Amino acid sequence: MDENINELISDLRTYLEYLKGMGITTLPVTENILEKVARSETATLAEVRKELGDCKRCKLHRTRKTIVFGEGNEKATLMFIGEGPGYDEDVQGRPFVGKAGQLLTKIIESINLSREEVYIANIIKCRPPQNRNPEPDEIESCSPFLMKQIRVIQPKIICALGTFSAQTLLKTDTKITALRGKLCDLEGIKVIPTYHPAFLLRNPERKRDVWEDMKKISDLLKSPQ
Ligand code: URA
């Protein structure tokens, strides 16, 4: 990212010098281009969605019903990232709307936020057949779009839900039991992994851990930096 920006700045400088040589010393600016460049190569979620299109970049397009892009507040300070759509999400085209999703909604509300105030997405946007784990080529095709969503939203905190999300975002194979509740980093954004709501449905005794992680997230959201 930094390398790309440096290259862009260098190209821009060369071009401006060329224009100056031609006697052109002012430029009309019709939109906030600088902010757009600083934020990312795409400035809105609608642009990212448009670029994704009717995605056929990986084999999951053959079996999915709907692309589950993600939903919520484009200016969210807190973003939740799960693994990938399941049956209900595939049918409805929305993330976390099944049983695990209902629990996620409660988890969000436990820190006095609503689903509409946060942003919810997944590592991959199409349901794998029989809910198998996403494969490396599928993650590779999909993750640039998640990264663009993150760069547009620029949340203060990302809560990575479960092993798969945490390990993919943080590029590690450390176990979720060791990662959960730890303050990690992704491109300068704080990442806090916690257990996946589907895991909590099977292991309700771990809800206390997630509550502690959410309390930490809530405190960080209220802190000035
Ligand atoms: N599990 C996930 O990881 N994501 C969803 O959207 C639903 C269930």
- What token pair was written down for 14? 């060369």
| C-alpha separations of 88 from 101, 129, 137, 138, 181 in Å | 10, 13, 24, 20, 28
Q: Beta strand 157-161 with 78-82: parallel, antiparallel or unpaired?
A: parallel
Using the mean position of ligand 1's atoms as its centre, give its distance from the Cα of residue 198 in Å: 8
Question: Ligand 1, from 122, 169, 200: best to mutate by most atoms within 8 Å of Cβ?
Answer: 122
For 11-25, 83-97, 142-156, 202-216, which range has the lowest pLDDT when averaged over its residues? Answer: 11-25
Q: Highest mean pLDDT range out of 8-22, 40-54, 112-126?
A: 112-126
Please indicate whether residue 143 or residue 21 has the higher confidence score (pLDDT): 143
At 153-193, the pLDDT tens digits run 999 999 999 999 999 999 999 999 999 999 999 999 999 99
* C-alpha to C-alpha distances, 62 to 5, 56, 84, nearest whole angstrom: 36, 8, 16
> Can you give the pTM of this predicted structure?
0.83
CA distance 7 to 133: 37
pLDDT of residue 24: 76
- Provide the percentage of residues in the chain whose pLDDT is more than 90: 80
From the alpha carbon of 88, which atom of ligand 1 is closest?
7
| Atom from ligand 1 closest to the CA of residue 196 | 3
d(CA 193, ligand 1 centre) in Å: 15
19 confidence band (pLDDT: 50, 70, 90): confident
Instruction: Write down the H helix ranges in 22-153.
Output: 33-39, 45-52, 87-92, 99-109, 136-153
Say whether pLDDT at 217 is over 70.
yes
- Residue 29 binned pLDDT confidence (cut-offs 50, 70, 90): low
Return the pLDDT at 23: 72
Reported residue count of the chain is: 225
Q: What ligand 1 atom has the least distance to the C-alpha of 161?
A: 3
Residues touching ligand 1 (Cβ under 6 Å) are 82-86, 89, 95-96, 98, 100-101, 122, 198
How many whole angstroms from 110 Cα to the centroid of ligand 1? 19
Token pair for 139: 């993650």
Please state, in angstroms and rounded to a whole number, the distance separating the CA atoms of residues 165 and 94.
Answer: 17
* Mean pLDDT score across all residues of the chain: 91
Of the pLDDT bands very low, low, confident and very high (cuts 50, 70, 90), residue 33 is: very low
